A = this chain, B = another copy of it.
Amino acid sequence: MSDDLKALRERLAEVSDLSRSAGVLGWDQRVTMPPKGTEARAEALATLGRIAHDRFTDPEIGRLLDRLAPLEESLPYDSDDASLIRVTRRDWLKACRVPTELRVEMTRAAARGHQAWVEARRTSDFRSFLPFLRENVELKRRYVECFDPSDSPYTPLLDDYEPGMATAEVKEVFAVLRPALTELVASAPRVEASFLRGQFAPEAQRAFAERVLATLGFEEGAWRLDRTAHPFCTSFSNRDVRLTTRYHEDNLESIWSTMHEAGHGLYAHGIADSLLRSPLGGAPSLGVNESQSRTWENLVGRSHAFWTHWYGSLQETFPAQLGNIELDAFVRAINRAEPGLIRVDADETTYSLHIILRFELEQELIEGTVALEDLPEIWNARMKEFLGVDVPDDAHGVLQDVHWSGGGIGYFPTYALGNVISLQIWAKVREALPDLDAQMAAGELGPLSDWLRDNLYCLGRKLTPKETLERVTGSGALDPQPYLTYLRDKQSGV
C-alpha cells in the first residue's frame, strides 16, 4: 500500500473510532443512561464531535487526497481504494464548509434537545420543548448558509442523509405519491382487525421477537436487542449491532418494529470487513438503508409466506387472542390500510403520507414560512387534511418523533424514499430467488439474507445511492410505480 494511502487510512480509522465511540455514548444515552447524566453526556459528545470534525477536516487529508488522485484514477472505479479516495473527497469537501464551532453547537444542542424531548413527550408539553427546537432549527439555518445556494435551502440538509439528492427530486416523487396514496386510503376496505388489540404480555412479545430475529441471518454474539422509548438501530462495527424496540401491552406492533430495526441491523452486519473503520463502513444513504428496514418489516414481515411458517408459533404464544383467528384473516389484518396518528405504527399505505406532511413542514421551518410556536396547530390541521384523523395531544402529534429533538431535519423524506426503493430492489430479489415464497413459508430466510448481503449490504458506501441502485437493479432512477403497484395489488387482494 502506498504511504499516502496508509496515512489516509490511519487518519480515517481514527475519525471512525471517534464517531463509533460517540455512537456508543448515544446508544447509552437512549437505552441506559440515568437522566441526570445528560449534561455531562452532552459535553462528552460535543468533545468527541469536535475532535472528530477537526481531525477529518485537517488540511493534511486534503493534501493526501490530492496526492492520491493518480492512484484513484489507475484503479477500478468500484475498488475499495478508489472508492475510499473518491467518497472521502466528497465528504471532506462538504465537512470543510462547516466551522468546527458550529458543529460543536449542533452536537450540544442535539444532546440537550433529546433529553428535553423525552420529558416533553412524556408530559405532552410542546412549550417546554419549544426553546430546544428553536435552537436546533436556528443552528440548521446557519448550517445551510455554509453551502452554495441550490434549488432549496433544504437541499444541504437532505444531502446529509441522501447524498446527491435535490429537494426538487423528492418533490417530484412525492407529487406522484400523495394523490395516489390519498386515493388508496380513501378507498381502503374495512378489514376486521380487532383481535390485534388486546393484552399481549411484553415479555412474550420479546421472546417471540427474539426467536424471529435468530432466523434472519445475524451471527450469534454479534448483536443485541434492548428496549427504548423510540426504536432505533446503531452499530459500532459489523459485529456489534444494537437493535432497540418497544413493546406496547395492547398490540403486537413490536413484531414489525423489531423486524424494521433488524433490517437496518442486517445492513450494518453485512458491510464488508475491508470497509470498516473508514467512511465506507455504512449504507450509501438513509433511503437505501431504509429500503432494507422496510423490506424486512413489510415485504417479508407482512407476507403470507412468512406467516405460513410463523403464525402457528404466534398463536401458541397468544392463544387467547389469536387461537381462533385463521392465518388468512391475520395476514389481511396486518396488511390493512387504516389512518392513524403515529408514524411508526402506520401501515404501508398511510405511512408515506405521514412523511410527506413532515417533509413539507421541515421545508417551511427552514424557509421560515412557519412559526415554531404554531407547529402543533398546523400539524393537527394537516393530519386532519391528509389522513382525516383528530390529534388528541402533542404526544400523539408533533412530539411523537425523536428526530427534530436531535437536529435531525432533512431525515424524514428518506423514509418514504426507502419505501419506493425497497420495491425497486424487491423486483430484483424476486428474479434472483424464484423459490423465495417457498423458502419463507419454510422459515428459511437465509437465502434472502445472503443475497441482500452479497449484492447490496457488502458494498457499504463505495457507490452513491443512485450508483448502488443501478448496480442492484440496472437503473439508478427513483420510480414510485412498483411501490404503488404493490400497494394497489395488496388492496385488491392479489
Residues of A within 8 A of B (CB): 13-14, 17-18, 20-22, 24-25, 27-28, 32-37, 39-41, 43-44, 46-48, 51, 219, 221-224, 226, 236-237, 239-241, 276-277
If A28-B28, A41-B240, A240-B41 touch, does A48 touch B21 (CB 8 Å cutoff)? Answer: yes
A48: chain B residues at CB < 8 Å are 17-18, 21
A223 and B237 CA atoms in complex are apart in Å by 28
Question: Cβ of B40 and Cβ of A240 under 8 Å apart?
Answer: yes
Partner of A35, one of B37, B221, B277: B221
Q: Which residue of B lies closest to A27 (CB)?
A: B28
A18 and B237 CA atoms in complex are apart in Å by 20
Known: A20-B40, A21-B22. 19 other contacts (CB 8 A): A13-B47, A14-B47, A14-B51, A17-B43, A18-B51, A20-B44, A21-B21, A21-B47, A21-B48, A27-B28, A32-B32, A33-B240, A34-B240, A36-B219, A36-B239, A37-B236, A40-B239, A41-B237, A51-B51
Question: Cβ of A37 and Cβ of B222 under 8 Å apart?
Answer: yes
A21: chain B residues at CB < 8 Å are 21-22, 25, 44, 47-48
Question: Cβ of A40 and Cβ of B222 under 8 Å apart?
Answer: no
Tell me how far the C-beta of A254 lies from the nearest C-beta in chain B, rounded to whole angstroms.
20
Question: Cβ of A237 and Cβ of B39 under 8 Å apart?
Answer: yes
A222: chain B residues at CB < 8 Å are 34, 36-37
A17: chain B residues at CB < 8 Å are 43-44, 46-48
Q: Which residue of B lies closest to A23 (CB)?
A: B44
Question: Cβ of A40 and Cβ of B221 under 8 Å apart?
Answer: no
Label chain A's interface by main secondary structure. Answer: helix
A13: chain B residues at CB < 8 Å are 43, 47
A14: chain B residues at CB < 8 Å are 47, 51
Q: Which residue of B lies closest to A21 (CB)?
A: B44
Tell me how far the C-beta of A119 lies from the nearest C-beta in chain B, rounded to whole angstroms.
11
Question: Cβ of B224 and Cβ of A40 under 8 Å apart?
Answer: no
Tell me how far the C-beta of A409 lies from the nearest C-beta in chain B, rounded to whole angstroms.
26
A51 and B47 CA atoms in complex are apart in Å by 12
Q: Which residue of B lies closest to A240 (CB)?
A: B37
Question: Cβ of B20 and Cβ of A221 under 8 Å apart?
Answer: no
Question: Cβ of A18 and Cβ of B40 under 8 Å apart?
Answer: no
A378 and B151 CA atoms in complex are apart in Å by 75
A-B residue pairs, 9 tightest by C-beta = A37-B240, A40-B237, A17-B47, A36-B239, A36-B222, A35-B221, A17-B44, A36-B221, A21-B44
A32 and B241 CA atoms in complex are apart in Å by 11
A43 and B278 CA atoms in complex are apart in Å by 13
Tell me how far the C-beta of A152 lies from the nearest C-beta in chain B, rounded to whole angstroms.
36
A36: chain B residues at CB < 8 Å are 219, 221-222, 239-240
- What are 7 of the A-B contact pairs (CB < 8 Å)? A17-B46, A24-B25, A24-B28, A34-B241, A36-B219, A36-B221, A37-B236
A44 and B235 CA atoms in complex are apart in Å by 13
Question: Cβ of A277 and Cβ of B219 under 8 Å apart?
Answer: no
A22: chain B residues at CB < 8 Å are 21
A20: chain B residues at CB < 8 Å are 40, 44
Partner of A18, one of B41, B47, B236, B240: B47
A471 and B40 CA atoms in complex are apart in Å by 29
A20 and B42 CA atoms in complex are apart in Å by 12
Most buried by B among A21, A25, A48, A51: A21
A277 and B42 CA atoms in complex are apart in Å by 12
Question: Cβ of A236 and Cβ of B44 under 8 Å apart?
Answer: yes
A446 and B48 CA atoms in complex are apart in Å by 37
A44 and B28 CA atoms in complex are apart in Å by 16
Question: Cβ of B224 and Cβ of A34 under 8 Å apart?
Answer: yes
A237: chain B residues at CB < 8 Å are 37, 39-41
A44 and B276 CA atoms in complex are apart in Å by 12
A224: chain B residues at CB < 8 Å are 32, 34
Tell me how far the C-beta of A478 lies from the nearest C-beta in chain B, rounded to whole angstroms.
34
If A24-B24, A24-B25, A48-B17 touch, does A223 touch B43 (CB 8 Å cutoff)? Answer: no
A48 and B19 CA atoms in complex are apart in Å by 11
Tell me how far the C-beta of A122 lies from the nearest C-beta in chain B, rounded to whole angstroms.
13
A17 and B43 CA atoms in complex are apart in Å by 7
Tell me how far the C-beta of A460 lies from the nearest C-beta in chain B, rounded to whole angstroms.
15
Question: Cβ of A43 and Cβ of B277 under 8 Å apart?
Answer: yes
